[in-house]
Amino acid sequence: MPDQAQKLVGQYGVIGNPISHSRSPLIHQAFAKQTGIALEYTAILAPLDGFEASVAAFWQNGGRGLNVTVPFKAQAFALCHNLSERAARAGAVNTLIFPADSLQPILGDNTDGAGLLQDFAFHGISIHGKKILLIGAGGATRGVLAPLLAEQPAQLLIANRREKTAQALIADFVDLAPNTAFAACALDAIPKEAFDLIINATSAGLSDTQLPLPDAVIHTDTVAYDMAYGSQPTVFMRWSQARGAKAFDGLGMLVEQAAVSFYLWHGVRPETRPVRDLLRALP
């Protein structure tokens, strides 16, 4: 709870289904403590068919901002009256900003791409001129494609279980890839050649499912990055490490995207390193 002497700036939260595993409340409360901002930030479980009603109730009860997670990012995009350029491009929203005046529009933004690039910078992962395999074509991929392409990789191949979804992304984003070999394929048709960076943006790991990747895509210089995270290395990380690659999970991305959301809501940039350390120290 906020210090009584501090003025409560408002109610914030993260909404998703499932949501109990979310680290976002801990992260935002840590940022709030660090910056001396008093706020409430809670995890909200929305019924799968009740996202819009849950958001409306939150706003009516004085809520000022929500982070949106699986599986609602596309629905959040659809309900926004006003979108940042990056959210419009992604077709997915992970940050909602509610005006105090209910006649004003809700603003939607997407901080996932900025969070990913910040985390890449933290780990020293470079993209320019690299050969990248991006697995998955859902909301997570949509959120990060524009910033990834802006770094001008030599090649960006999107592989997805349903090839059509990946092909649709090529059509949507190809104008941002003038200097990149930008293509899509089915998950079971990935060429048997090595990549510098493999990013897992699927939700397969949530059910402990191993992706059917050919061994040839990975070698000891490959960097493997899973946007998912857990208390233990993910299935994809374990698969990569077993083949000698360096592997990272998405916990850093989570903290970095949260920091961008925090800035959007409060106008203050929190320090992310102590919060990364805090999360890593958790059992």
Residue ranges in contact with ligand ATR by CB under 6 A: 70-71, 73, 136-140, 160-162, 165, 187, 202-204, 209, 211
Q: Evaluate whether 126 touches 148 at the Cβ level (below 8 Å).
A: no
Judged by CB, which is closer to ligand ATR: 140, or 198?
140
Judged by CB, which is closer to ligand ATR: 72, or 182?
72
Residue 99: CB minimum distance to ligand ATR, A? 26
Judged by CB, which is closer to ligand ATR: 27, or 166?
166
Q: Which of 73, 130, 164, 192 is catalytic?
A: 73
Torsion 186-191-192-194 (CA) sign: negative
Answer left, alpha or beta for residue 91, where phi above 0 means left and psi between -120 and 50 means alpha.
left
Residue 165: CB minimum distance to ligand ATR, A? 5
- Residue of minimal CB distance from ligand ATR? 138
Judged by CB, which is closer to ligand ATR: 2, or 71?
71
Residue 37: CB minimum distance to ligand ATR, A? 29
Measured at the alpha carbon of residue 75, what is the angle toward residues 252 and 31, in degrees to the nearest 5? Answer: 30
Identify whether 73 is a catalytic site residue: yes
Residue 76: CB minimum distance to ligand ATR, A? 11
Judged by CB, which is closer to ligand ATR: 27, or 201?
201
Residue 88: CB minimum distance to ligand ATR, A? 17
Residues serving a catalytic function are 73
